[in-house]
A and B are shown apart, each in its own frame.
Chain A
Amino acid sequence: MSKLFEIALGVITGIGGFLEAGSLTTAAQAGAAFGYQLIWAIAVGTVCIAFLVEMAGRLAAVSRHALPDAMRERFGIRFFLLPLAAVALVSFLVLASEIGGVTLALEFATGISHRWWAIPTALSIWLLLWKGTFGMVEKGTSMLGLVTLAFVVAALTLHPHPAEVARGLVPRGPTHDAARYWFTAVSIVGASVSPYLFYFYSAGAVEDQWDEGYLTINRITAGVGMTFGGAVAVAALVCAALVLHPQGIQVDRFEQIPFLLTSPLARAGFWLFVGALFIACFGAALEIALQLAYLVAQGFGWRWGENLQPREAARFALVYTVVIPLAALVILSGIDPLKLTVISMALTALSLPVTVVPLLILMNDPQYLNEHTNGWVSNVAVLAVSAIACLVALVALPLEILGS
């Protein structure tokens, strides 16, 4: 495969894979409540995830080891249990959120309550993993995920004022409703820096048998792909700021979210929204379920790989076969998918130090990276964002739970 083609594919993966239940909901809430004010939070989250994805890819390319593998080996089982539990818990909640997003899209399309769709959705996700290959999951979902570009089209038809949008990139304190503002900011960061993204990416790089020849591709893919992905999230925020904010609609019920596209694009907008929500959440659910299986299998040294038949990697297949129905049960239980999503994103932010710091230590270890260890910029950037996001979440999460 030519290098250019690989880069294009990687960038498409970044764009098509960025928007999912979490980033869409948090961007919509931010735009509806605060106009352009919180664009900076998407920018911060995007820079951070670009660094993390690049690191995960570099670790895999140089050491041929995926992240959980390397963590268990470097830190030992007792410490490893901590990031294992944190990533597994957060990923499980995000998986449930994505299944919730798929079922909501189906409810919008059919009028049948989303709870009834939980089981069929789970079954389809499982079947695709059971029968599919890694390339199909990765490339298929990201190609189809390009439908989320509808948000960019919608944002452009609304003619946002470029200077005002740009002003949103500068972090500022809230003008009103401070608790809500910081909670939303930290949920946005959590949605962008979802650990499943870089854990999945590192396993993918090992599945695709990357070596040091891929380092440049990796850097471009991570940088450009995530930047464009972040731009799609900004577009969703802009739509919300121009459609929902002036009418004073706060996104606290999911029925309000399709307005984002129906207002600028009319009837076509409704179906584009339903399609985008369905595909984005379905693709993310596939990746998260797979990532949970990678996490456990790599942590315990089992045979793993989505390109193997289930019977060739039975314990690996068992993990996703168990977590998918469990996550569907969460939605079936009748929990509000919107609330679940937002809380999961804040919890993600809260858990960042546990999921990110071990990666940083690995990335500075020449035993794994040879001469390709981290520079100080990426170390400082990722550490600062994780620490601040965690602290803000620590304050904002209890306030949000008590408030609602």
Chain B
Amino acid sequence: MLIGRDILDQQVVDRAGRLMGKVDGVVLGPPEGEDARIAGIVIGGTTLLWRIHRGLARWAERKLGGEGRATFVPWAKVTKIGIDIKVDVDAPRTRAFHWENWVRDHLIGRIPGA
């Protein structure tokens, strides 16, 4: 398994089949013996920006503060790695829908008929 090819940027799907976002980052745990181990995957927040442009990511983190916090899913919760990454979590109870809900509550939900 290769982190770059098989895990990063794959679609994350929760227990109920809800789209949680893409794998924006991977957290490596303390090395055990010779190999580093994957501690978990990170979705959303400013994680993705760090892979695009560091300056931009730093700026966004300063601007957003705690708002930019990402969703961390421990590796033990990953149930399947294929074209999608299936995780045994309940998405609404994580921060994965933070911006989705923000857009719904502050913008889209305010337009009649939403």
Which chain A residues have a beta carbon within 8 Å of chain B's beta carbons? 63-65, 69-70, 72-73, 75-78, 80-81, 130-131, 300-304, 309-311, 314-315, 317-318, 321, 367-368
Contact = CB atoms under 8 A, between A and B. Distances in A.
A78 B99 CA distance: 22
Given A311-B114, A317-B114, A367 B108 contact: no
B11 A303 contact: no
Contacts of A303: 18-19, 100
Interface in B80-114: 83, 99-101, 103-104, 107-109, 111, 113-114
Contacts of B18: 303
B83 A367 contact: yes
Contacts of B20: 301
B13 to A, nearest CB: 9
B114 A73 contact: no
Interface string B1-40: 0001000111110000011111010000000000000000
Contacts of B24: 77
27 contacts: A63-B83, A64-B83, A70-B83, A75-B9, A77-B22, A77-B48, A77-B51, A300-B22, A301-B11, A301-B19, A301-B43, A302-B100, A303-B18, A303-B19, A310-B108, A311-B104, A311-B109, A311-B114, A314-B101, A315-B99, A317-B108, A317-B114, A318-B103, A318-B108, A321-B107, A321-B108, A321-B111
Given A301-B22, A314-B108, 5 more contacts: A77-B48, A302-B19, A303-B100, A310-B114, A321-B107
Contacts of A63: 83
Contact of B21 (A64, A76, A302): A302
Contacts of B76: none
A76 B109 CA distance: 32
Contacts of A77: 9, 22, 24, 48, 51-52
A77 B25 CA distance: 11
Interface of B: 4, 8-12, 18-22, 24, 43, 48, 51-52, 83, 99-101, 103-104, 107-109, 111, 113-114
Contacts, number: 77
B15 to A, nearest CB: 15
A300 B20 CA distance: 9
Which 4 residue pairs of A and B lie closest in terms of their CB atoms, listed nearest first?
A314-B104, A301-B22, A301-B21, A314-B108
Contacts of A317: 108, 114
B52 A78 contact: yes
A76 B9 contact: yes
Interface of A is mostly: helix
B52 A314 contact: no
Nearest to A304: B19
A69 B11 contact: yes
Given A76-B4, A77-B48, A302-B100, A309 B114 contact: yes
B100 A73 contact: no
B106 to A, nearest CB: 9
Contacts of A130: 111, 113-114
A80 B9 CA distance: 10
A53 B91 CA distance: 34
A203 to B, nearest CB: 14
Contacts of B107: 314, 318, 321
Contact of B83 (A73, A131, A301, A310): A73
B101 to A, nearest CB: 8
A81 B4 CA distance: 16
Given A76-B8, A77-B51, A315 B19 contact: no
B100 A72 contact: no
Nearest to A131: B113
Nearest to B13: A301
